Each structure stands twice: as C-alpha cells, then as structure tokens.
Structure 1
Amino acid sequence: MSGKADPRHAGDGSTSRTRLDRGRAALGPALELVHTGRAPTRAVLTAELGVTRATAGAVAAELEALGLIRVDARPGAAAGSQGRPSHKLAVADDGPVALAAQVHADGFRAALVGLGGRIVATAPGCEVVDADPAKVLASVVTAGAELLRETGLRCVGAGLAVPSAVAEPEGLALNPLHLAWPAGAPVRDIFAEQVRAAGIDGPAFAANDVNLAALAEHRHGAGRGARDLLCVATGHRGVGGALVLDGRLHRGSSGLALEVGHLTVHPEGRPCHCGSRGCLDVETDPLAFLTEAGREPGPEVSLLQQSIDLIRHHYDDPAVRTAAEAIVDRLGLGLAGLVNILNPDRIILGGLHRTLLDADPARLRAVVADRSLWGQSGGVPILPCTLDHNSLVGAAELAWQPVLDDPLGALTARG
C-alpha cells in the first residue's frame, strides 16, 4: 500500500502483501470508524468491516504506518474478563491536522483539528470583521499558518465556515448579510488562494457554518448514531439549519438546502431582510431575545454571549423568563413544521437555542409535539449540541474527507 519497507511486514512474504492488497479498499472505512469512535478495538473493527481478523490487523497496521492511528497491542484486560483482550485503536495524538477557520458576525478564529474532532491548537480570536472578505480570510489563514509553524504538524488541508449559504459548485457566499460582505463573494476561491499563498499543503473548502456544525455533531457529538439528523442553530445573528442523511450532508441541488431561517413563525412580527415578516431568522436569534427582554445590546460582548448570560444568570427575572418563553414558542412552531416535512429521527439545537432548551426543555418539546403530526405520534428527541466549537470542527471535517475517502492516496500524493 505505501510501498515502503516496514519491519512489521518482514518475513510475512506474499501472505502479508496479499492481506494488505485485499484490505486496501477497507482503509478509508476503517479510518472513518476510528475517527468517529465506532471502532475502539481491532475486534470491533473486524466486525464492522466484515473482514478477517488478519485483514483488519493489516489495515490497522497500515493506518498506523501512515501516522493516522495508534494500535495498542498490549492493552490491559478488564477485571474478570477471559481470553486475550483485543488491540485498542485510537487516533494518533501527534498525527496530521486540518486547518479550520470560522468567520461570524462578531469575529473570526483559526484552529488546528486532528482526527477524532480533537482541537489541537487555537489562535486568539479577532473581534473585527472587515467588509472585504479577502482581508479577513488573509488574516485568519495567517493565524492558522502560525499555528502550523509553532506545532510543526503536517496539514492535510483547510476548511472554512461562514454564516451564509454557499452555492455549489462555485463556492459563492450568496447572503453574508451579517458580515457586510458583498453578496456572491467567491469565498472558497479567496480562501484557497490565501491558503496557497501561506504555503499550506492540501485542498481548501468552504461551507455554511450550521451545515458544518451538523456534520461535526453527527460524527463526534450529540448527533452520533442518528440516521436523519436535523440541526437548527442561532449563533451571533440569524438562524440556520442543516440535515444529515445517512451520514452525509443534504446540500440540495446547488448547496442551498435547509434555509430554515426564513420559515414564518410570527406573521405580524419583525420585518426580515428576505422581504417577509416574522421569520425564524429575526424572531428567535440573540437580537430578538434581547429586544423581547427589553435589554439594550451593549458593544462590549457579542449578542450571543449577552443572551446566554442573561438566561443563565437572570432567568428568575420575569421579563427574561417571559422573553425566553416567547422565543421558545416561536422556535417550537418552526421545528414542528420541519418535523412534518422532514421526519427526522433526532433534532439538535445549537447556539442560543441550545441555551433555551437547557433552560426549559419541557416547554420546547411540548410545543413541537403539540404542533407536529409525527411529534404527536411518538415524539422526536430534541437534544443540545455538545461540541463547543462545532462549526470549526465541521470545517476541519471538509479537509479530512479526502483522507477518509482514500488515506493512502491523499497522504502519499503529497509526500
């Protein structure tokens, strides 16, 4: 597979090579199983892949030789267990990383993310977003390049999360309204150009931040194990949604699926930038909550953080509680409509919506159950997102995907 001499294979002759050739197609699936925590041991890997133990061992050994995973050949047996314990598998702590970048209304951040969704290093965030996307992306890539220099880690590629629908195949940010960027900015090409200029190896990708949050949660967080996963989140401004079907993001015909922010939940409500009124985007985001609670947003802390702090520390204030209940009712109405259309087997909520769920889970679940057909028939689990930086982790998943598809090809092609 790698073509390099490996002392572990010496003496096996053609038998070892035959096993490796037979298992080459299993490298990607095997790496994804370890990456997502679904194969903690070689025995589980063997069962999940449906191969022989010898083939699974050869596959695990090759992934270890590529520097992607660790194989513990001498794990301690559990107390009371019988027989030889299976080799333990884990992602390599010192393995390659992906450069992840996120831009939102209140700043941007860069990080290095390894396999397993593990954030290895982060750069200090910036709180000023220029109206020129090229300037912003140059700054965030420069921060990421500095992290790579400091750590000395190999980079497999770069991913960018933006608070906008990203049209495919062009990679255009169609509606980055809260960033003051021009509509249709070619963010993927700009990002890729900055990545190349910084001397960073690997391909560059860009996608909507909530799509990427859903992908990260599905692989490493609250959405793990769901077949049809709906994610709805409000970050610093606006509301986004995403759907993961059978492990893959549902992007629609041109990358624009699940613009849930423009579902009407309050017909006589606030005017929305889309031209309608009372959309989720303007009725359930942090600005809507602060306005409903009669609080004047301050410039010193992001709208999201102000809203979260208000709920966590002042929920006993009648004005705050009443505002939270109003937002929950509107959110529940929107989720009920989505349940009727999509019939997901799990819903996860991020950003302010996660905090609202934590504050009053019974109320939100009751609204969804009462207003949706499938909710009435049994209920859809509604859970909070569990990853603190899921959009960053999701951006890294974009860069990791070519490696997951073909570990040997992706890594050896770049030396």
Structure 2
Amino acid sequence: MNGKATTTRTRLDRGRSALGPALELVHTGRAPTRAVLTSELGVTRATAGAVAAELEALGLIQVDSRPAAAGSQGRPSHRLAVNDSGPVALAAQVHADGFRAALVGLGGEIVATDPGCVTVSADPAQVLGAVVDAGAALLKGSGRRCVGAGLAVPSAVAEPEGTALNPLHLAWPAGSPVREIFAERVRAAGITGPAFTGNDVNLAALAEHRHGAGRGAKDLLCVATGHRGVGGALVLDGRLHSGSSGLALEVGHLTVNPDGRPCYCGSRGCLDVEADPLAFLTAAGRDPGPEVSLLEQSRALLRHEYADAPVRRAAEELVDRLGLGLAGLVNILNPDRIILGGLHKALLEADPDRLRAVVADRSLWGRSGGVPILACSLDHNSLVGAAELAWQPVLDDPLGALSHQV
C-alpha cells in the first residue's frame, strides 16, 4: 500500500473512532456546533466535518449550515442537533401503580408515550408482555426505526443475571428473571435491537446526568421516591456506580427512625417506609384513595393543602427524615451534587431551606461549604434512562450498531 493510501486509511479509522464520542457530545447537548465538536474531540476541522457528515448520513444528527444571525462575527459554524425524525429506542417502566411505554429519540426526547394500565399483576411475564405490546403499537404507529429496548423496574437488578432481587412493591417473586422475560417479549414482538433492564432510580440518575439537573456533575447522588419506597443512585465520572453485582446504593434501607415502622427488609424505620408517599399520607392523617396513585395524591396534598397544619407537620417530619438520610450519604460519598425526584422533589420545593439546613447540620462536608441539592428536571426520567441503555451500543459504535440491524 502506498503512502497516500495509508494516510487515507488512517484518517478513515480516526474518523470512525470519533463517531461514538461525537454522537455522545451531540446527544448530551455538549456540542451544539461543529466548532465545539472540533474542540471537544481534539481533531481537525476537516475530520470533525467528516464525522458530522457520517452521523448525518446514518440518520442520527442534523447539520445546519445556514448562515449565523446578522451581526455575528467570524466565520459561522455549522449547527448540530439530533435528528428529530431519526431512530428511537423503546422504553418501558413498571411501578407499583401501573406501567408505561414510550419511544425515546436521541437527546432524551420522548417521541410518543402510552400510559398503560393502573394495576400490575403478580405475574411478571404477563406485565412485561403487556408493556412490550404497548410499545410495539407505538412503534408501528410511528414508522420509526428502533435501536433496542430498555426496561426500568422498582427493584435492585442483580448482575450479570438480570434478576429482580427484591421487587417488594410489585408482589413479583424475588429473583424474577426480568431481563430474560423482557428480552423474550421484545423478540416475540418483532422489535429489533438488544434489550436491557435496570433499576428505576439508577436509570433516572443516568438520564438526569446526561440531559437534566445532574448535567455537569462529577459525583452525582440521586435519591427519589416514586409510587412506593425510596431508591438511590450514584453517577461517578459519567458512569453509574452499581457495585460488584448491581446492588449498590440501596439507600431505602438506611435507618432514619429506629423506633419507626417495620420495613419489608426486616429492619425498622428505614427511609423506604418513613419517607415515601404512603408515609406522608399517613403522617398527614389522610386515608389513601384508589382513584390515583399514592404519588399523585401526595403531590396534590402538598400543592393544594400545604397551609393546613397537619399537612405541613407531615411534610416537615418527612423532610427531617430525608435530610438525616441524605446527611449520612454525604458523609460517606462526598458527592458534588444531590438531585431529588418524585415526592422528594415536591418536598424540596415546598421547604428547601429546612431540608438544606438539616443536611448541613448533620453532615461533616455540609458544614464546610454545603452540597447543592436540586430537583430532578426531566419528566419520566426513568423512562428516558431506560432508553439510554438501549442507545448505549449506538453511542459506543454508531456504524457498527446500526449496520448489525440492517
């Protein structure tokens, strides 16, 4: 091979190796222009242009070469954005009060969603079959290409087996092979691409780190309570910290009230039963109704009746318990940002000063400067996170992942 051919091959190889990092930069909003992409990748303008053109040819991004607005200085740089009519991932979420399916494009954009049902059977195969059927209907209606599927469940998911170790709030058998069942249902529905499963709060944290309130954090702690129970997740240097077998950050079983309610884990006074929607409704003296989920009932109570003394006292009680748990986590993990989801987000918004004061008073690092505590900012962040699992092979190798599905 002559020198010119070798140089061309080297450039092609270098360009292909940059496709994944370039797509991730556009996907997470960190490269809005070709000039920024060039700088972030550390390549020449020609290479960055070739990479952007290849991603556009794959149908993943859009390159806008229209001139910059009048009055701008210097040579305008091409604008980059995800292709809003490109491929999608099928995302599914199961929780105590129902399930939901969605189609999610690059950039974490929810393209379509189906709210599913409001009751969840004790048979995981039946539930996962129904949620995949709902997703398949969305795909058929959209006419979009699917890169894969991701599932979020309210349970620790043991690795490498993909089993739901403790689906306490679903009445599913412990150790249910949810990843295997989900993958079988995805294949049976004729949906292309690999299938993945993860814990719902882990996936919410991943989505928030890439697209929401956690963007830019180095060590991000996420704590959330959805429909039942409390979960936590940690993102370190852009990657989920799931421990040696996927079971890290089971923060719901931190004891915050030693004389409190019995927990499903066998202990007493865990965050899981002391700081979730049921605990809040009980503390406020309200009997949960069947009309809407416990989470929606709790949010409505905070939104419309926070001025009532029993509701305010219940909120303060939960804020203090949550703050105690967060302080312990800050002492152990030393995160540079905390984000809160579900009912915890609503509690933070109702009384941010009280929660931050409890954390600062009870944590070593809080006293020395404080840790930013923010509300999660994405709607359906667990769904978006489930889609991130399906998008990851494409982010790693766009050309390889998409060519394998042709």
Q: TM-score, normalised by structure 2?
A: 0.98
Query: Which position in structure 1 is the counterpart of 2:50?
Result: 58
Tell me which amino acid in the other structure corresponds to 1:91: V
Query: Which position in structure 1 is the counterpart of 2:173?
Result: 182
Counterpart selection for 1:81 from 72, 75, 81 = 72
Matched, 1:322 2:285: no
Moved over 3 A (4+): 13-20
Instruction: Tell me if structure 1 keeps the 8 A contact 2:201–2:223.
Output: yes
Matches within 5 A, 1:14-29: 19-29=11-21
Tell me the distance in 1 between the aligned counterparts of 2:364 and 2:224: 22
Q: Deviations over 1:61-97 (max 9, x none)?
A: 00000000000112x4244321221000000011100
Matches within 5 A, 1:304-323: 304-323=295-314
Query: Which position in structure 2 is the counterpart of 1:394?
Result: 385
Tell me which amino acid in the other structure corresponds to 2:247: L
TM-fit CA distance, 1:123:
1.4
Q: Deviations over 1:370-403 (max 9, x none)?
A: 0000000100000000001000000000000000
Matched, 1:284 2:275: yes
Q: Deviations over 1:217-239 (max 9, x none)?
A: 00000000000000000000000
Instruction: Tell me if structure 1 keeps the 8 A contact 2:116–2:134.
Output: no
Tell me the distance in 2 between the aligned counterparts of 1:141 and 1:125: 10
Tell me the distance in 2 between the aligned counterparts of 1:271 and 1:128: 25
Tell me the distance in 1 between the aligned counterparts of 2:9 and 2:362: 59
Matches within 5 A, 1:189-200: 189-200=180-191
Tell me which amino acid in the other structure corresponds to 1:49: L
Q: Which runs of 5+ in 2 are unaligned?
A: none
Query: Which position in structure 2 is the counterpart of 1:8?
Result: none
Tell me the distance in 1 between the aligned counterparts of 2:159 and 2:13: 36
Matched, 1:403 2:390: no
Matched, 1:412 2:399: no
Tell me the distance in 2 between the aligned counterparts of 1:16 and 1:397: 34
TM-fit CA distance, 1:21:
2.8
Tell me the distance in 1 between the aligned counterparts of 2:157 and 2:248: 10
Say how many residue pairs are matched. Answer: 403
Tell me the distance in 1 between the aligned counterparts of 2:368 and 2:69: 43
Q: Deviations over 1:279-327 (max 9, x none)?
A: 0000000000000000000011110000000001110000000000000
Query: Which position in structure 2 is the counterpart of 1:100?
Result: 91
Closer, same or farther in 2 for the Cα pair 1:15/1:152, shift >3 Å? farther
Tell me the distance in 1 between the aligned counterparts of 2:337 and 2:222: 9
Percent identical pairs in the alignment equals 85
Query: Which position in structure 1 is the counterpart of 2:214?
Result: 223
Matches within 5 A, 1:117-196: 117-196=108-187
Closer, same or farther in 2 for the Cα pair 1:84/1:118, shift >3 Å? same
RMSD of aligned C-alpha atoms?
1.3
Tell me the distance in 2 between the aligned counterparts of 1:264 and 1:78: 57
SS in 1 for 2:249: coil
